[in-house]
Structure 1
Amino acid sequence: MGAEQAELKVEQGAGSKRRRRWLRRLLWAPVVFAVFSVVQVLVLRFVDPPFSTVMLFRQVEAVAQGDWKFRLHYQWCDLEDMARSVPISLVAAEDQRFPEHNGFDLQAIEKARQHNERGGRLRGASTISQQTAKNLFLWQGRSWLRKGLEVWYTVLIEALWPKQRIIEMYANVAEFGDGIYGVQAASRSYWGKDAARLSPAESARLAAVLPSPRRYNAAKPGPYVQRRAAWIQRQARQLGGADYVDDAN
């Protein structure tokens, strides 16, 4: 019995050590992730990404559905190589206080909350910074985990990137059609020209399809896209035109 008890104590001691080792790993995991994400965002301030997480998931989704003909369309375009109407159209459509807030538009959040309390179609209040974080680093869908990571990455983006980099990144990773990511790929796909040659009307149409890029077509706009694009152009003029985004820092 003495030998059995000694063996049992050894096993219990080994089990206790394993538990402590796993506990230490769990405690260190958030620290490791925080350091990794800071480095990740800092690198992407200077390095243009070859793809985004949303693009990767979209490709996997197509393969899982047996759509072997599906191809991603993506080509990076520097901000200075885009028509000046592109950034202001995106801001007018998605986040008109983009130059002013620090990643979260509290006024828009409060307005959305009041609107949703009255019922009807739900309204969101995500900023361009939040959407950039989601499109670049995360995945589609709704969950508390994804939302928490979106907040974290948004804070990092706003802290480590200038506004010009944020709008440049958003214009390149946003989806403008099924499998079409970025304004350069969209411009080539829809009009056969580079993003530098987009007209204000074409830029507004691209921004107009962003709520549902797989449902609407910027090259063949229906009544909704036409109305929204016209509204975007009016808003862009009221904001002060391209200078409104150019002056953001």
Structure 2
Amino acid sequence: MTTRKRQSNPQSRQSDARPRRSPLRRILAWILALVFAVIALPYLLIPLYALPQLHPVSTLMLSEIVTGRSYERQWVDFDQIAPVLVQSVMMSEDGQYCAHSGVDWEALNLVIDDALEGEATRGASTIPMQTAKNLFLPSTRSVLRKALEIPLAMAMDLVWSKRRLMEIYLNIAEWAPGVYGVEAAAQAYFGVPAAKLSRRQAALLAVTLPNPIKRNAANPSRNMTRLAGVIEKRASQSGAYIKCLYD
């Protein structure tokens, strides 16, 4: 009785010899893909947010929704915001707003030099950088967050007009706990629409921005009142600095 030798399939041997991914490698691949998607998503949203009919929300507003807390925000177009408020915010937060392309490199380099020398550092975040943080990034301070802010700010400044960028910033900034956007802030603090803010009210709102949790524009401290006076004076002399918004 003859026995036949079972012929082996070369393709079968090759598939059996092919190394299989370990579960750990598959998990790491999924994590890397997720990280890439999270980093890439803002760059896909930036062109969409250039459309004036879209009203973006900030990461803080999203966290309010997720945790079930209520918040106030009434979107207003740029032309419905008092120019004195825009001037005050610019002179308080980013005096070179019309001159840079999203990042004030001179101010940033000074901060880096101070940090390397062990000196106390001051903020160098421009309005585009703050908008990038508010729209897409967590509010916790870190070197990684700052590194992500910079290219996002440059991309927004490239894709959006200066007016659109300022409009979005003023409509997503936090002005008090649970109060977002300049319209809700003007109503909450002074009982007037954003279009009717006075110079002093605008200056007080501007100096509230760096710390909206502790600063109250309707009940300013002595230091806030002093700062508001400085900002009010700068805003009245800001004509050359705001041409990109009102030309």
Q: Same fold (TM over 0.5)?
A: yes
CA distance in 2 between counterparts of 1:109 and 1:123 reads 10
Larger radius of gyration: 2
Structure 1 residues 21, 178: closer, same or farther in 2, change over 3 A?
A: closer
User: What RMSD, in angstroms, separates the aligned Cα atoms of the two structures?
Assistant: 3.4
Gaps of 5+ in 1: none
Matches within 5 A, 1:20-99: 26=32, 30=36, 34=40, 36-46=41-51, 47-60=53-66, 63=67, 70-99=69-98
Calculate the TM-score normalised by the size of structure 1: 0.80
Structure 1 residues 224, 41: closer, same or farther in 2, change over 3 A?
A: same
Calculate the TM-score normalised by the size of structure 2: 0.81
Q: Quick check: 15-24 or 100-109, which moved more?
A: 15-24
Q: How far apart are residue 86 of structure 1 and its match?
A: 1.3
Matches within 5 A, 1:1-249: 13=18, 15-16=20-21, 26=32, 30=36, 34=40, 36-46=41-51, 47-60=53-66, 63=67, 70-114=69-113, 116=115, 117=117, 119-120=119-120, 122-240=121-239, 243-244=242-243, 246-247=245-246
Structure 1 residues 113, 10: closer, same or farther in 2, change over 3 A?
A: closer
Partner of 1:15, secondary structure, is coil
Partner of 1:73, secondary structure, is coil
Q: How far apart are residue 136 of structure 1 and its match?
A: 1.1
Structure 1 residues 114, 20: closer, same or farther in 2, change over 3 A?
A: closer
Structure 1 residues 58, 22: closer, same or farther in 2, change over 3 A?
A: closer
CA distance in 1 between counterparts of 2:194 and 2:100 reads 27
CA distance in 1 between counterparts of 2:27 and 2:14 reads 18
CA distance in 2 between counterparts of 1:33 and 1:118 reads 31
Q: How far apart are residue 118 of structure 1 and its match?
A: 6.5
Gaps of 5+ in 2: 1-7
- Is the Cα contact below 8 Å between 1:88 and 1:241 reproduced in 2? no
Q: How many residues align?
A: 235
